[in-house]
Structure 1
Amino acid sequence: MKTIMTLILGTFLMVQTSDPAKIAGDWEATLEAPGQSIPIVFHITNTEGKLSATLDVPSQGAMGLKVDTITFKGDKVKMVLNLIPATYEGTLKDGKISGKWTQGPNSVDAVLTKVKKEGKS
């Protein structure tokens, strides 16, 4: 019985775990707030299977804001910034991450697209 439970648990964990390399890179979006558009850029790194990230908000002079928590399970991404406080939650599909940016009581739709580096496709 113990062997069967181990196999079931192992299979469940394999299904729930995602390849962090899928979301490593720079991702940009524009937040549409009342009366203004705010470009943002997440810089997501994958170091030996462990994700970390920072956020830039160039129009506000905020660069390298620490993302305190980043999780990627299935195709779901969640990033939490305690400093602001804010959360981004989205789903990776067709090379984009579609989700919501939540800051305080307000939420807006935000689609992150991967930034292509010059000379790379």
Structure 2
Amino acid sequence: MKAIMTLILGAFLMTQSSDPAKVVGDWEGTIEAPGQSIKIIFHVTNTDGKLSSTLDVPQQGAMGLKVDSTSFKDDKIKMVLNLLPASFEGTLKDGKITGKWSQGGGSADAVLTKAKKTGKS
């Protein structure tokens, strides 16, 4: 009986942690900066259980910017770019990631949605 309870408890705890596969893919949104809207696209991948990502900012000709850390736990994602320096932190809910873009001492709300595939796969 004790072994069965341990298995049930273990299965319950596993369902409580976030599955990184939920955030794998291309996520796009808009940052509303003073006087302009800036489109951003995060490309999130999972290699051997470790998340990584890059960032595109098409309006600024910035493609494939290295994201230094990407983490996802309890439906919360955090991506940090040391180069800018900047970060995005958000919560995955109902197929969207709602959060904040922070850079240079300021922050702006942003909602990311999963991009639909176009062109060749």
**Scaled by the length of structure 2, what TM-score is found?**
0.84
Residue 56 of structure 1 aligns to a residue whose secondary structure is strand
In structure 2, what is the equivalent of residue 104 of structure 1? 104
Q: Which deviates further from its counterpart, 38-47 or 110-119?
A: 110-119
In structure 2, what is the equivalent of residue 3 of structure 1? none
In structure 2, what is the equivalent of residue 6 of structure 1? none
**Counterparts of 1:1-121 in structure 2 under 5 Å?**
14=14, 17-118=17-118
After superposition, the C-alpha distances for 1:23-80 in whole angstroms (9 at most, x for unaligned) are: 0000001111111110000000011211000000000010000110111001100000
* 1:23/1:72 CA distance change after superposition, 3 Å: same
Query: For residue 43 of structure 1, what is the amino acid of its counterpart?
Result: H
Structure 1 unaligned spans of 5+: 1-9
Could you tell me how far apart the structure 2 residues matched to 1:78 and 1:71 are? 5
In the TM superposition, residue 15 of structure 1 has moved relative to its aligned partner by: 6.2
In the TM superposition, residue 11 of structure 1 has moved relative to its aligned partner by: 8.2
Query: For residue 54 of structure 1, what is the amino acid of its counterpart?
Result: T
Is the Cα–Cα contact under 8 Å of residues 15 and 74 in structure 1 kept in the other structure?
no
The RMSD of aligned alpha carbons is 2.1
Percent same amino acid at aligned positions? 75
Query: For residue 75 of structure 1, what is the amino acid of its counterpart?
Result: D
* 1:66/1:16 CA distance change after superposition, 3 Å: farther
* 1:50/1:108 CA distance change after superposition, 3 Å: same
**Scaled by the length of structure 1, what TM-score is found?**
0.84
List, as ranges, runs of 4+ consecutive aligned residues in structure 1 with deviation greater than 4 Å: 10-13
Could you tell me how far apart the structure 1 residues matched to 2:17 and 2:23 are? 13
Could you tell me how far apart the structure 1 residues matched to 2:12 and 2:66 are? 31
